[in-house]
Amino acid sequence: MHVTFSPEELAFQEEVRAFFRDEYPEDIRRKRDKGMELEPKDQVRWQQLLHKKGWAGINWPVEYGGTGWTPVQKYIYATEEANANAPLVIPFGLSMVGPVIYTFGNDEQKRRFLPDILASKVWWCQGYSEPGSGSDLASLKTRADLVGDHFVVNGTKTWTTLGQHADWIFCLVRTNTDVARRQEGISFILIDMKSPGVSIKPIILLDGVHEVNEIHFENVEVPVENLVGEEGKGWTYGKVLLQHERANIAGVARSRYRLRRLRKQVETSVRGAAPLIGDKNFMRRLAAVEVELKALEYTELRTLAAVSSGKAPGPESSILKVKGTEIQQAIDMLSVQAAGYYALPYVPEQYKPDFADQYIGEEAETQSSLRYFNFRKASIYGGSNEIQKNIIAKHVLGL
């Protein structure tokens, strides 16, 4: 795809490039380039730098501290962010609950929560899924019963990403069982993780990382003012949030960056081995993924245009989610194959003192199989890809 920028957009591109060149902390850059995990404090420091620059609320309206960028500016920013291999912001505050609060919350909630989300002073997590309620989310059982001026919450949320660091959790809970449609009895509430009765249990993923959790609520008292919008309307609000989440998961600019690096890697001889560019089968598969990604870029630009004109991303975000994650997983597979033996999580050479500089090149090859395992999640979270195909069939194709 060829995008022509105006002089103002080119100046903006320069500004973004300069920011990533000059303000992106060297220690975080190094960890990212080596494929190492970031600590929560690295994430927060980076998000606070973005906030200082005024670039934390990329999709937020200007009145709430957002950038007010055009779709082209967002496209430029995402491209430069990916080219710098900068960390993605943790989405739960900035991309998920923030938009729900500024769209459906009352003035007091906006005053109370939005500035801290924008400034990354508070870590949020997402409490939608439950054991037994994932794809069929409307069957969720966590209850919030109104008793005087507070709700009493009982139930279990699961797969809660990075919940072990969270100060707050936003939850879909059942406030009414006496309704015609299950969706009507669901509300959207905000729970302080320090509340008595909240407990958390780690779940270890395939790559051995503690990334998700099970969270239990036992008679947790939640003030009624933490209900967002109207009681029983949580399903509607939750769906808007999911559309934002799905559009974000696609990661087009990141995939473009990873494919470019992969191409560079296969064109050069690694440690004396013949360059993979001579392997027609591998190169055919690489080219096929590049073509798919180019097609997806157009869909992403259409979604960006819709969001910037004030609309929610809409059910089309499901297309982005399915194709974006299929492409990510295809790149993961190609990266593992390109790294060959060095993709093993534990290569014996790693115990040598100069291992990091000698063996982990820019591509962080030894991390590629860990990433491969970790990113099996991409076609599951945010609503599995099978469910997205159902949504596309019904709401986009009208079948």
Positions that interact with ligand FAD (CB under 6 A): 126-129, 134-135, 159-161, 212, 377, 380-381, 383-384, 386-387, 390
Using the minimum distance from each CB to ligand FAD, give the nearer residue, 222 or 266: 222
Q: Shortest Cβ distance from residue 87 to ligand FAD (Å)?
A: 17
Closest-approach residue to ligand FAD (CB)? 134
Report the sign of the C-alpha dihedral through residues 15, 19, 20, 22, in that order.
positive
Q: Nearest approach, Cβ of 16 to ligand FAD (angstroms)?
A: 29
- The vertex-308 CA angle with 306 and 309, nearest 5°, equals 65
Cα-to-chain-centroid distance, residue 353: 35
245 noted as active-site residue: yes
- Find the shortest distance in angstroms from Cβ 71 to ligand FAD: 27
End-to-end CA distance of the chain: 31
The CA distance from 82 to 177, in Å, is 45
Q: Helix 317-339 and helix 234-249: axis angle, to 10°? A: 40
Nearest residue to 62 (alpha-carbon basis) of 393, 329, 308: 308
Least separation in angstroms between CB 307 and ligand FAD: 22
Beta carbon of residue 133, minimum distance to ligand FAD (angstroms, whole number): 7
Structure-block tokens of residue 312 = 């929610």
Strands 168-174 and 124-127: parallel
Closest of 57, 198, 231, 209 to residue 125, by C-alpha: 198
- DSSP string for 188-203: EEEEETTSTTEEEEEE
Smaller CB separation from ligand FAD, 237 or 381: 381
Q: Which of 81, 214, 231, 245 is catalytic?
A: 245
Nearest to ligand FAD of 343, 387 (CB atom): 387
Nearer to ligand FAD, 90 or 262 (CB): 90
AA identity, residue 362: E
Q: CA 83 to CA 300: how far, in whole Å?
A: 18
Question: Residue 251 is encoded by which pair of tokens?
Answer: 């990661």
C-beta of 53 vs 210, nearer to ligand FAD: 210
Q: Which residues are catalytic?
A: 245
